[in-house]
């Protein structure tokens, strides 16, 4: 079964999109077949991966046919059901389901439908599982081993649908108060949505065929280092580093409070000098070459970054039991 992993924290700007982008390329480099999915109406992942002229071409017409919005639009417009989505190639083993700012207005339709799932209303199930059905079909067509979903920093209805479509949820966190609060919000919300979906599933109309299981299983957190934000205050950094694992255990996995790093998947460095270069070259930081301006000490940094992301995706693969299909 393909793992569908949503990267989420309702603290904005923690590095979710960058993490999805780099993990997707690293998984592909390791030989996994990968689909990256942009479900954030801000479309940052698509903007990171594609140059402006390509985005313009994809977003130009009002139908937005080649994006995630285009794939669900017939359902939300009342003219039909979801349709197969275009897979934008980013590499031999990596494809992108392109995001779109036009996704925003469907938030309301998703929101009003949710409570009606328990009535077994067919349309409600169609709407709630719209993203999953599009992603599931694309993943089969692409023979994806892993699907990575990027979403906006909120607990709104689009994200609830993304969670229903997810086997796992990975939380990027920064060592700060907002991330701590993010963990405390997410745990109860995940439990609520998981049990609501489990209660609704038996009422799903058989005519719709396979439905998502909505496991939303918490995979752990990735600590985004961002040390420089704390200046000389190593004490502040240490304080959050101590509190985050406790908040994760108590709020997200519902365990006893304890100072254990069991749920920390990886601690990722902040590559302040490489990121602008990578954005300019439109490639991952760990793939930068001399020709991109990564010369001298930068090359050492690129290698460190490569090792860092390699360790991260190895840990994700181990925790999800991910296997390469080929
Ligand atoms: N490991 C990293 N090294 C250097 N810079 C990083 C790293 N991760 C993220 N950044 C930078 O941090 C900023 C925020 O990152 P990003 O857009 O990925 O966050 P986000 O959590 O997706 O934001 P939002 O909540 O708005 O969706 C960006 O400028 C990005 O380039
Ligand atoms: Mg983002």
Distance 43 CA to ligand 2 centre (A): 8
Distance separating alpha carbons of residues 161 and 107, to the nearest angstrom: 10
Strand runs labelled E in 209-288: 217-224, 264-268
State residue 233's pLDDT score.
Answer: 65
Q: What's the pLDDT score for residue 223?
A: 93
Closest among 284, 324, 281 to 146, alpha carbons compared: 324
Cα 44 to middle of ligand 1, angstroms: 10
Atom of ligand 1 minimally distant from the CA of 40: 27
- Output the pTM of the full model: 0.95
Pairing between β-strand 94-97 and β-strand 88-91 as defined by DSSP bridges: antiparallel
3-state secondary structure of 76: helix
Ligand nearest to the CA of 48: 1
* Residue among 9, 15, 26, 103 to mutate when testing ligand 1 (max atoms within 8 A of CB): 15
Domain range summary for the chain, segments of one domain joined by +? 3-320
Task: Decide: 273 and 259 in contact? Cβ < 8 Å.
Answer: no
Rg for the chain, CA atoms, rounded: 20
Residue minimizing CA distance to atom 27 of ligand 1: 152
**How many angstroms does the Cα of residue 165 sit away from the middle of ligand 1?**
24
Mean residue pLDDT of the chain comes to: 91
CA distances from 207 to 71, 164, 204, 265 (A): 20, 19, 9, 40
Query: Which residues crowd ion ligand 2, with CB under 5 Å?
Result: 16-17, 44
First and final C-alpha spacing in the chain: 14
Pocket of ligand 1 (CB under 6 A): 12-18, 40, 44, 152-153, 268, 270-272, 275
Tell me, what's the pLDDT at 135? 98
Q: What pLDDT shows up at residue 231?
A: 53
Q: Whose CA is nearest to atom 19 of ligand 1?
A: 15
Fold of 3-320: Rossmann fold (3.40.50)
What residue ranges of the chain have pLDDT lower than 50?
230, 232
pLDDT of residue 269: 93
Shortest-distance Cα residue to atom 9 of ligand 1: 15
Question: Residue 74 has what pLDDT?
Answer: 93
Instruction: Identify the burial level of 86 via C-beta atoms within 10 angstroms of its C-beta, where 0-12 means exposed, 13-18 middle and 19 or more buried.
Output: middle
- Residue 46 in contact with residue 205, Cβ under 8 Å? no
Q: In this structure, what token pair is assigned to residue 42?
A: 């801000």
Cβ burial of 95 (10 Å; 0-12, 13-18, 19+) is buried
- The ligand that comes nearest to the alpha carbon of residue 11 is 1
Alpha carbons 120 and 220: distance in angstroms, whole number = 33
For position 227, what pLDDT does the model report?
53
């Amino acid at each position: 079964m393909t793992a569908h992993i949503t990267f989420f924290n309702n603290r904005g700007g923690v590095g979710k999109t960058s993490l999805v982008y780099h993990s997707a390329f690293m998984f592909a480099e390791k030989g996994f077949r990968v689909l990256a999915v942009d479900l954030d109406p801000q479309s940052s992942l698509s903007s990171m991966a594609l140059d402006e002229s390509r985005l313009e071409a994809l977003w130009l017409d009002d139908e937005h046919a080649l994006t995630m919005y285009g794939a669900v639009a017939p359902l939300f417009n009342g003219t039909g059901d979801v349709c197969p989505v275009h897979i934008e190639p980013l590499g031999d083993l990596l494809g992108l389901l392109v995001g779109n700012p036009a996704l925003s207005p469907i938030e309301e339709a998703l929101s009003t439908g949710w409570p009606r799932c328990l009535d077994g209303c067919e349309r409600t199930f169609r709407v709630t599982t719209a993203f999953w059905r599009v992603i599931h079909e694309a993943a089969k067509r692409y023979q994806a081993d892993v699907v990575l979903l990027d979403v906006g920093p909120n607990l709104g209805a689009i994200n609830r649908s993304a969670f229903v479509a997810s086997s796992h949820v990975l939380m990027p966190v920064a060592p700060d108060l907002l991330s701590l609060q993010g963990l405390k919000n997410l745990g109860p919300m995940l439990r609520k949505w998981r049990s609501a979906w489990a209660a609704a599933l038996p009422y799903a109309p058989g005519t719709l065929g396979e439905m998502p299981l909505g496991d939303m299983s918490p995979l752990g957190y990735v600590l985004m280092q961002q040390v420089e934000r704390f200046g000389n205050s190593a004490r502040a950094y240490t304080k959050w580093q101590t509190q985050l694992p406790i908040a994760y255990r108590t709020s997200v996995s519902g365990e006893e409070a304890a100072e254990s790093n069991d749920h920390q998947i990886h601690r990722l460095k902040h590559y302040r000098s490489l990121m602008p270069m990578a954005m300019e070259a439109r490639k991952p930081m760990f793939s930068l070459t001399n020709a991109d301006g990564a010369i001298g000490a930068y090359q050492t940094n690129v290698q460190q970054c490569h090792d860092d992301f390699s360790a991260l995706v190895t840990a994700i693969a181990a925790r999800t039991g991910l296997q390469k299909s080929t």
